[in-house]
């Protein structure tokens, strides 16, 4: 067997009081395809950083074969200090690397190379970082959530590209389909240590369940042994005269083993607070159309959504999935056509940007909305610490600012806020981002049991297949067509997957074309005024949202009218105007954001 290119042995690292890693190991051989799995917070990203040589462990050894090249894709790439995306990717090349590959991978990922890093969206930043990792063709690729913020065409392109590489791969991902296709071995990071399965992810879950069942059996046997020893101490004849110190020591050892033995892993408890049943008809759209500038987002769409439907919306980035979601829920008015909402609707919305999370607020304040230590769940008060535990938060995290939470923790917190509100219509825009595989399973089960209606935007093909009853797919030029079944059923019906959105401008020469060929002229850029508006509008929108929340808080006071009539009149007069101003600014921002995407960033 060939010696490993990279070997981590007996890795230990402690953060705070509890060990994050304790005896973890990782071995990567030439051409290996390894997926690293485990719960959010189990230390996967930390172990990958140690493998990349970016973090020093408290204990253990890291061996890298001399001359072996490694490239690492972090979960949150930092492009600071580089003038353009091309400069950022080229900075990752080695002396003997082909510099044409930098331009090639940027183009394949939908970037031109001249984009300023500070103006990139999350998806564009991820694409630039992927190009930087792939361009050198390293011996080992360490990828931490490579599909985050990517659309379906980019994910499927990346799968094909990685499958064809000669590099060894170590991948952390919540995308089951990608792991099943790429992995040939699995490392399970659980309770600070690692276990290895020399099979791909497709075999992992059955193997894990068997291991957990055996652990439960071992734990039961240990409990029985402790019970027998305690019974002897209480009632044994020898014990009544004089304690057998050897046997007493054995009992103490058993108790210590039980304390240190693996206890059942914490599990997210997901349950949506369900409101009263809606009418049979939830949403009816007739000949709906929406255009921003010259960009046709929706053209002549008619659809009926009934109670209990689970509709998935899929398409490439920039196609207008979120806009379509806003049109269907009445948050955005169509240019032409009508949208009729059914009776007794109680929607709860999870937006992609998690805008309901204030980074400066503490976790507890976010859940309670500043109401002391009580969370209103399904209309009933519940102590915030109890509700936090349902979503795997520890009591000591109650005062933690939201901005310091990991991506997975923010995802769970956003779900906790949304699921507490009684609803019969769940509107979920990319709910699977940053969630671990176990939480994804629980979310899928909860949504399958949810009595109401679900509208879902997602790039997770496996999640769509497991959950939705139909998908509405982007077909180009503002056309959206509904297909029965999940993502795989849609592919079978239309005979292809989701295609990338056509670029708004001609591309530049790719690798292999003459280096001196003149690039085509670029389509117009955003004007200074448009660019300034894109930067300032989010702040103005947040300020209006805060003002609306304040006004609604005042009007929620049942004694305000009697106690302070002028304040009541001022609030009731200001609220509709503020809401109208907010809607106008959001439409302006949407139009500019779509225009920016059309112009290539």
Question: What pLDDT does 546 receive?
Answer: 87
Q: Does the pLDDT at position 253 exceed 70? A: no
89: left (phi over 0), alpha (psi -120 to 50) or beta: alpha
Cα separation, 331 vs 324, whole angstroms: 10
Mean pLDDT over 438-455 rounds to: 86
Question: What pLDDT does 228 receive?
Answer: 67
Chain centroid to Cα 53, Å, comes to 26
Question: What pLDDT does 266 receive?
Answer: 54
Which token pair is 528?
A: 């200074």
* Measured CA angle at 116 (ends 112, 118), to 5 deg: 135
Residue 262: band (very low, low, confident or very high) from pLDDT cuts 50, 70, 90? very low
Residue 226: band (very low, low, confident or very high) from pLDDT cuts 50, 70, 90? low
Question: What pLDDT does 440 receive?
Answer: 84
Q: Is residue 509 part of a domain?
A: no
Question: What pLDDT does 539 receive?
Answer: 85
Q: Is residue 372 part of a domain?
A: yes
The structure's pTM equals: 0.69
Q: What is the pLDDT of residues 522-578, one digit of tens each?
A: 345 666 667 777 778 888 888 888 888 888 888 888 788 888 888 888 888 888 888
Residues 78 and 187 occupy one common structural domain: yes
Residues 485 and 365 occupy one common structural domain: yes
What is the percentage of the chain residues whose pLDDT exceeds 90?
39
Total domain count, the chain: 4
Q: Is residue 57 part of a domain?
A: yes
Cβ-contact 2, 13 below 8 angstroms: no
Cα separation, 396 vs 18, whole angstroms: 13
Residues 248 and 330 occupy one common structural domain: no
Question: What pLDDT does 505 receive?
Answer: 42
Question: What pLDDT does 522 receive?
Answer: 39
Question: What pLDDT does 597 receive?
Answer: 66
SS (H, E, C) 491-504: HHHHCCCCCCCCCC
Residues 61 and 122 occupy one common structural domain: yes
Residues 113 and 151 occupy one common structural domain: yes
Residues 184 and 96 occupy one common structural domain: yes
Q: What is the pLDDT of residues 11-54, one digit of tens each?
A: 999 976 678 899 999 999 999 999 999 887 788 999 999 999 99
Cα separation, 216 vs 208, whole angstroms: 12
Q: Is residue 211 part of a domain?
A: no
Residue range of the domain that includes 199: 6-206
Q: Is residue 311 part of a domain?
A: yes
**Residue 575 sits in a domain of what CATH number?**
1.10.287.380
Q: What is the DSSP letter of 218?
A: H
Higher pLDDT, 372 or 174: 174
Last residue of a domain, one of 476, 494, 512: 494
Which token pair is 64?
A: 């890298």
Lowest mean pLDDT among 79-88, 405-414, 496-505, 509-518: 509-518
Written as one string, the DSSP assignment of 405-429 is S-HHHHHHHHHHHHHTS-BSEEEEE
The 10 Å Cβ neighbour count of residue 201 is 25
Question: What pLDDT does 283 receive?
Answer: 95
Last residue of a domain, one of 494, 519, 540: 494
SS (H, E, C) 120-150: CCHHHHHHHHHHHHHCCCCCEEEEECCCCCC
Cα separation, 110 vs 500, whole angstroms: 9
Residues 202 and 228 occupy one common structural domain: no
Residues facing 426 on adjacent strands: 348, 454
Mean pLDDT over 460-464 rounds to: 90
Question: What pLDDT does 371 receive?
Answer: 77
Cβ-contact 486, 462 below 8 angstroms: no
* Measured CA angle at 444 (ends 35, 474), to 5 deg: 85
Residue 227: band (very low, low, confident or very high) from pLDDT cuts 50, 70, 90? low
Q: Which of 209, 268, 272 is nearest to 436 (CA)?
A: 268
**Helix or strand run (H / E) with residue 237:** helix 237-241
- Phi then psi for residue 491, to 5 deg, are -60, -40
Residues 311 and 422 occupy one common structural domain: yes
Residue 250: band (very low, low, confident or very high) from pLDDT cuts 50, 70, 90? low
Residues 101 and 169 occupy one common structural domain: yes
Cβ-contact 450, 423 below 8 angstroms: no
Residue 229: band (very low, low, confident or very high) from pLDDT cuts 50, 70, 90? low
Q: Average model confidence (pLDDT) for the chain?
A: 83
Q: What is the pLDDT of residues 163-204, one digit of tens each?
A: 999 999 999 998 999 999 999 999 999 888 999 999 999 999
Q: What is the pLDDT of residues 275-291, one digit of tens each?
A: 777 889 999 999 999 99
Question: What pLDDT does 516 receive?
Answer: 37
Q: Does the pLDDT at position 501 exceed 80? A: no
Q: Which of 163, 161, 123, 165 is nearest to 145 (CA)?
A: 123
**Residue 404 sits in a domain of what CATH number?**
3.40.50.300
Q: Is residue 559 part of a domain?
A: yes
Last residue of a domain, one of 468, 494, 520: 494
Q: Is residue 85 part of a domain?
A: yes
Residues 240 and 173 occupy one common structural domain: no
Q: Is residue 449 part of a domain?
A: yes
Residues 125 and 227 occupy one common structural domain: no
Question: What pLDDT does 557 receive?
Answer: 83
**Residue position matching structure tokens 């190009």:** 131
Which token pair is 403?
A: 């901005």
Residues 252 and 310 occupy one common structural domain: no
Cα separation, 83 vs 119, whole angstroms: 11
Question: What pLDDT does 92 receive?
Answer: 93
Q: Does the pLDDT at position 408 exceed 80? A: no
Rg (alpha carbons) of the chain, rounded to whole number: 27
Q: Does the pLDDT at position 269 exceed 80? A: no
Question: What pLDDT does 26 receive?
Answer: 96
Question: What pLDDT does 306 receive?
Answer: 93
Written as one string, the DSSP assignment of 315-343 is --TTS-HHHHHHHHHTSS--SEEEEEE-T
Cα separation, 288 vs 335, whole angstroms: 7
Lowest mean pLDDT among 49-53, 145-149, 225-229: 225-229
Cα separation, 261 vs 386, whole angstroms: 25
Q: What share of the chain is helix, strand, coil (3-state, %, to 5)?
A: 40, 20, 35
Cα separation, 298 vs 313, whole angstroms: 13
């Amino acid at each position: 067997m060939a010696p490993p290119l990279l070997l981590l042995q007996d890795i230990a690292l402690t953060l705070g009081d509890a060990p994050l890693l304790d005896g973890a190991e990782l071995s990567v051989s030439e051409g290996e395809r390894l997926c690293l799995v485990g719960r959010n917070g189990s230390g996967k990203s930390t172990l990958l950083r140690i493998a990349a040589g970016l973090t020093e462990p408290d204990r253990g050894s890291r061996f890298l074969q001399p001359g072996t090249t490694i490239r690492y894709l972090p979960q949150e790439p930092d492009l600071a200090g580089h003038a353009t995306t091309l400069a950022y990717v080229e900075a990752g090349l080695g002396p003997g690397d082909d510099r044409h590959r930098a331009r090639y991978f940027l183009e394949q990922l939908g970037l031109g190379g001249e984009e300023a890093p500070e103006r990139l969206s999350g998806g564009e930043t991820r694409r630039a970082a992927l190009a930087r990792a792939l361009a050198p063709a390293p011996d080992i690729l360490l990828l931490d959530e490579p599909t985050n913020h990517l659309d379906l065409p980019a994910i499927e392109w990346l799968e094909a590209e990685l499958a064809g590489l000669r590099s060894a791969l170590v991948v952390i991902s919540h995308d089951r389909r990608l792991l099943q296709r790429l992995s040939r071995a699995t490392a399970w990071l659980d309770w600070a240590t690692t276990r290895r399965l020399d099979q791909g992810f497709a075999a992992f879950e059955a193997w894990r369940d068997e291991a957990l069942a055996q652990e439960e059996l071992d734990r039961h046997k240990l409990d029985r042994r402790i019970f027998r020893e305690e019974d002897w101490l209480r009632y044994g004849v020898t014990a009544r005269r004089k304690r057998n110190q050897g046997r007493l020591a054995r009992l103490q050892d058993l108790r210590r083993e039980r304390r240190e033995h693996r206890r059942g892993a914490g599990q997210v408890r997901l349950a949506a607070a369900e409101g009263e049943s809606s009418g049979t008809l939830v949403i009816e759209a007739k000949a709906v159309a929406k255009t921003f500038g010259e960009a046709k987002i929706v053209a002549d769409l008619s659809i009926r959504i009934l109670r209990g439907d689970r509709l998935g919306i899929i398409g490439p980035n920039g196609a207008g999935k979120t806009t379509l979601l806003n049109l269907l829920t009445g948050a955005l008015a169509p240019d032409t056509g009508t949208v009729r909402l059914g009776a007794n609707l109680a929607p709860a919305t999870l937006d992609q940007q998690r805008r309901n999370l204030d980074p400066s607020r503490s976790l507890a304040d976010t859940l309670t909305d500043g109401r002391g230590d009580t969370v209103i769940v399904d209309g009933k008060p519940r102590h915030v610490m109890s509700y936090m535990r349902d979503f795997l938060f520890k009591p000591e995290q109650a005062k933690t600012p939201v901005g310091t939470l990991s991506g997975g923790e923010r995802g769970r917190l956003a779900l906790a806020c949304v699921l507490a509100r009684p609803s019969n219509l769940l509107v979920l825009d990319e709910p699977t981002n940053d969630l671990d595989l176990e939480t994804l399973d629980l979310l899928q089960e909860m949504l399958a049991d949810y009595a109401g209606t679900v509208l879902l935007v997602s790039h997770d093909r496996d999640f769509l297949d497991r959950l939705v009853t139909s998908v509405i797919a982007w077909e180009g030029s503002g056309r959206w067509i509904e297909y029965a079944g999940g993502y795989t059923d849609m592919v079978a019906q239309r005979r292809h997957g989701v295609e990338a959105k056509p670029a708004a401008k001609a591309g530049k020469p790719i690798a292999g074309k003459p280096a001196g060929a003149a690039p085509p002229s670029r389509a117009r850029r955003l004007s200074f005024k448009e660019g300034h508006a894109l930067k300032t509008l989010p702040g103005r929108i947040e300020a209006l949202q805060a003002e609306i929340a304040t006004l609604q808080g005042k009007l929620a006071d049942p004694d305000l009218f009697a106690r302070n009539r002028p304040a009541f009149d001022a609030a009731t007069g200001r609220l509709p105007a503020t809401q109208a101003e907010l809607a106008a600014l959001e439409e302006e921002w949407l139009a500019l954001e779509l225009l920016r995407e059309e112009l290539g960033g």
